[in-house]
Structure 1
Amino acid sequence: MSKPVAIYQQLMESIEKKIVSSELKIGDKIDSERVMSEKYGINRMTVRNALKHLEEKGILESIRGSGTYVKAMPQIQGTVDLGNQEEILSLSAQIRQRGMKSSRILLSMQKIQPVDEIKEAFQNIEWVYEIIRMSLINDSPYALQKTYIPCPMFNDAERFDFVNGSLYDYMQDRNHRPKTMVSYLQIETLPKEYLQIMEANEKDLYFLFDYLGYDAQNELVEYTISYHHPKFTTFKYKAQIQLD
C-alpha cells in the first residue's frame, strides 16, 4: 500500500507540472499564498511550506515586497526517452516533458534542390526547405537537427518562426502534421562543421536518428537527420527475432 502524499507535496508537484507544461514560464509571478490557499482550500501554512521547499530546490525565487517568481525548470528526469511516445511530439516538447529547460538556435534555413538520400526520399519533389537547428537542454548543446520539408506543401515556411514556434504546430496548421514516423538509429560522430557549436570533439559519439514522417494521407512530409548527445538520451525499441 503506497504512502499518502502530503498536501504540501501535492501542491509542489502541481506547480512543477505547470512549469514543465509551460503554463508557468521562467520569470512569471505565481499566485500569492492567500490566493492559492483560497483556490485549493488549504491553509496558508501548507502553501508556505510548499513554496519554501520549491525555493530550496532553486525552482522559485521570493522577492521581498514583490512576490514569488519562477526561477528555473524542475529536474524531474534527466534524459529524453526517444522512441517511447504514443503521440509524435516535437523534441522541445519531449525535453519539457522530462522537466528540463528547452531552447533552440536556428543555424540556417534555405530552399534547396534535394540530393542524395533527400532526393531519394522526396521523389518527384523539385525543391525542399532545409532547416538546421540546435536544441539545448538547460542551456547546454543537446541535439543537432537537419530537417527537410517539401516546398509544395509548405510554401510559406520562410515566414514562420522556427526558433520560438513548433515545427509540428506549423505542419498541423497546413494539415500535414506527421501521423506515422519511421526512424533508423546509428552511432556516429558529428560532422566537422558542427563540432564547435555543439562543444564536441571529433571522436565524440552521438545517437544519429533518421526520421521519416508521413501525414494522414501517407505522404512523406518530413525527413530529419538528428544527432543526440548520449548524456541526455535514452531510447527504447522492439526487436523481432526469427529462429530457424
Structure 2
Amino acid sequence: MIDRQSPIPVYFQIEQYIENLIETEDLKVGDRIPSEKEFTEQFHVSRMTVRQAVMDLVVQGILVRLKGKGTFVSGQKKIEKPLTGLTGFTQEMVSRGLKPDSRLLGFNRLHPSEKIAAKLKLAEGQEIFEVKRTRIADGYPMAIETTFIPSVLVPELTAEKANQSLYDYIEKVGGFAIDHAEQTLEASIVTIEEAKFLEVPKGSPVLLIERLSFLKGGIPFEFTKSLYRADRYKFIVRLPNA
C-alpha cells in the first residue's frame, strides 16, 4: 500500500491511509487504531515513520492518545478561534454550544515583575492578582490561562469569583467597559507540569497567546498568557480585500 517511488513522503501516505479508514468508517469514533508495531509490520517501515504519521493526526485532532491505553479516533473537532474580536473563554465556549468550566490552579495577590508592571502601567508598590486556571470545555482541558489584573481595579476579587468569568466580573461587578486588546501568537511546547494539566504527552505542541486588554480610555486592565492545545484549536484570520 506504500508507493516508495512516490514523491509523497511515506509517513504522509500512512496518514492518508488512516484518514481513509476513518472516512469509510472502517474506523469509527472511539475505535482504537492499530499499534505502532502492527503498522510497522504492515508497511515495512520504521516505528519513527509510523509515529510521525500518528502524531500529525493527533495534532490535527483526528486522533487522540490516551496514556497506557493507546490511540483512538477522536470525536472532537478543532475549535476555530478568530483572531479578531474580544471575548472571554466562557462566552466563547457558550457561543459554540459547549459547556465551559475552569479548574483553579492558583490565586495570589502579589507584587508584579517588572515586565507585568510595565505592561499594566502600574505605579511602584501597586499589587496585582495572579489567576492561573485550566480552561475546560465539555469536560476536556483546552488551555492553561494565567491572568494578571491590577488589584486596585477589583479589590474584592476572591479565588471563588476568579474561577468564574473574569470578564463578566469586571464589567458587571467592577462597572468597567472593556474596549480592546493587543495580542501575539506563537508556537510553543508544553513543560512536564503543563502537559499534566492539559492531559497531553510531554513535549506536545501548544499555541501561546499573550494578550494585553484595555478598558475604555486606554487603561490596561489585564495581561494574560494562554497555552492552547494545538490538537483542539486552530486560529482564523479573515483578511478583507485591500
> Would you say the 8 A contact 2:198–2:229 is kept in 1?
no
Q: Which has the higher contact order (CA 8 A, sep 6+)?
A: 2
* Cross-structure match for 2:29: none
> Would you say the 8 A contact 1:147–1:225 is kept in 2?
yes
* Cross-structure match for 2:130: 130
Q: What is the deviation of 1:79?
A: 3.4
Deviations 1:160-218 (A, max 9, x none): 5233x311111103133421011100101124332212212331110100011000121
> Would you say the 8 A contact 2:207–2:230 is kept in 1?
yes
* Cross-structure match for 1:101: 99
Matched, 1:190 2:190: yes
Q: What is the deviation of 1:153?
A: 0.9
Matched, 1:80 2:79: yes
Aligned with 1:231: secondary structure?
Answer: coil
How many residues matched?
Answer: 162
AA of the residue aligned to 1:237: V
Long gaps (5+) in structure 2: 1-75
Of 74, 99, 119, the residue aligned with 2:117 is 119
Q: Mark the CA change 1:90 to 1:238 in structure 2 (over 3 Å): closer, same or farther.
A: same
Q: Mark the CA change 1:233 to 1:213 in structure 2 (over 3 Å): closer, same or farther.
A: same
Aligned with 1:201: secondary structure?
Answer: coil
AA of the residue aligned to 1:79: K
Aligned counterparts of 2:115 and 2:239: Cα–Cα separation in 1: 25
> Would you say the 8 A contact 1:178–1:222 is kept in 2?
no
Deviations 1:102-159 (A, max 9, x none): 2111111100111142122123342100000111122121100000000111111126
* Cross-structure match for 2:232: 232
Long gaps (5+) in structure 1: 1-76
Runs (4+) of structure 1 exceeding 6 A deviation are: none
Aligned counterparts of 1:174 and 1:191: Cα–Cα separation in 2: 35
Aligned counterparts of 2:78 and 2:94: Cα–Cα separation in 1: 11
> Would you say the 8 A contact 2:191–2:203 is kept in 1?
no
> Would you say the 8 A contact 1:168–1:177 is kept in 2?
no
* Cross-structure match for 2:25: none
Aligned counterparts of 2:169 and 2:99: Cα–Cα separation in 1: 22
Q: CA RMSD in A?
A: 2.2
> Would you say the 8 A contact 1:80–1:95 is kept in 2?
no
AA of the residue aligned to 1:211: R
Identity between Structure 1 and Structure 2 (%):
18
Q: Mark the CA change 1:177 to 1:205 in structure 2 (over 3 Å): closer, same or farther.
A: farther
Give the TM-score normalised by the residue count of structure 2. Answer: 0.61
